[in-house]
Amino acid sequence: MRRSGNSGGRIGPSLQKSWDRRAAANFIAGGCGSGLAILSSANALWSGNLEPSAFAAAAVLIALGLLFVWFEIGRPWRFLHVFFHPQTSWMTREAALAPPLLVALAATALSANRAAAAASALLALAFLATQARILRAARGIPAWREPLIQPLILSTGLAEGAGAALLFFAFAPVSERLFLSVLALAAVALRQFAWRFYCRRLESRGAPKGALAALQAIDKPVLWAATLAPFLFLLATFAFPLFAAPFAVTAGVSAIFGGVLIKGVIVTRAAFNQGFALPDLPGLAGTGGGASTRPGRS
């Protein structure tokens, strides 16, 4: 513990170690799968073109994300304990939504039924919302507790899902992927706005310098590779129809890359805790009466 004059003791922010890449993989795979279910359902309801394999892939992604969480648990065979606190835990609510969501996705993949697709979309949206609330509930991590983390996680999941959906419709006629392309452009743009507002809010609130540095390091890749690239390649699919398929695939991969980058950094490299300061240290001379050091700023 560092002491500075009569300002008391201070413990500066440090990077949390409880959640690692496996936790990030849950947010990435679960968000991408949820977004894929939502975007595929919207496209099916609007254009009538329902792709069963997209819903099967969404189920696999969500299940894979939950599997990563299971691997992260210190005692994996006690995973049922996560279901014990639905009234207080967003992780419990996420886990509770998973079974009906996976059933709905499987039913849609097997039946190609639009009603099942609509049910899948609603459950996927609820699942994605619980993921956003899980991070928001972590009060000790400034980069997670920021209220704007919720629209960022939601928009990122939709952008990831749009990118994944583009992979399934890359070789479809223009008429069948026009609506999906519009949704993908909107989702990517929404994610960029949410990202900028989120970063600015953290800067204005004085988040730990390590967290701000981690976010700043990916700001340009998020803009260029994850936002402008999907825009340009999606527009190119209409300007150069002969190369529409590879352009659509590139746009989809770029959109997914943005979600992987943003969530991976927020969950791991930007996850500095607040730190704390004590105005008085009992038993140490010269520490009483001073102003406390403001924590979480270095």
Residue 75 reports pLDDT greater than 80: no
Q: Are the C-beta atoms of 33 and 162 separated by less than 8 Å?
A: no
- Note down the domain range covering 100: 16-273
Residue showing tokens 């993921």: 131
Residue 48 reports pLDDT greater than 70: yes
**pTM for this predicted structure:** 0.87
Q: How many domains does the chain have?
A: 1
Is there a domain that residue 141 lies in?
Answer: yes
Longest CA–CA span in the chain (Å) reads 78
Is there a domain that residue 41 lies in?
Answer: yes
Is there a domain that residue 10 lies in?
Answer: no
Is there a domain that residue 290 lies in?
Answer: no
80 burial type by CB count under 10 A (0-12 exposed, 13-18 middle, 19+ buried): exposed
The model's pLDDT over 183-210, given as tens digits with 9 standing for 90+, comes to 999 999 999 999 999 999 999 999 999 9
Is there a domain that residue 283 lies in?
Answer: no
- CATH number for the domain spanning 252: value is 1.20.1630.10
pLDDT at position 169: 94
Is there a domain that residue 231 lies in?
Answer: yes
Q: Which two tokens stand for residue 95?
A: 């886990």
pLDDT at position 10: 63
Give strand pairing partners of 88: none
The H helix count followed by the E strand count for the chain is 11, 3
> In 3D, which of 192, 178, 42 has the Cα closest to residue 121?
42
What confidence tier does 283 reach under pLDDT thresholds 50, 70, 90? low
Q: Are the C-beta atoms of 156 and 263 separated by less than 8 Å?
A: yes
pLDDT at position 240: 94
What confidence tier does 69 reach under pLDDT thresholds 50, 70, 90? confident
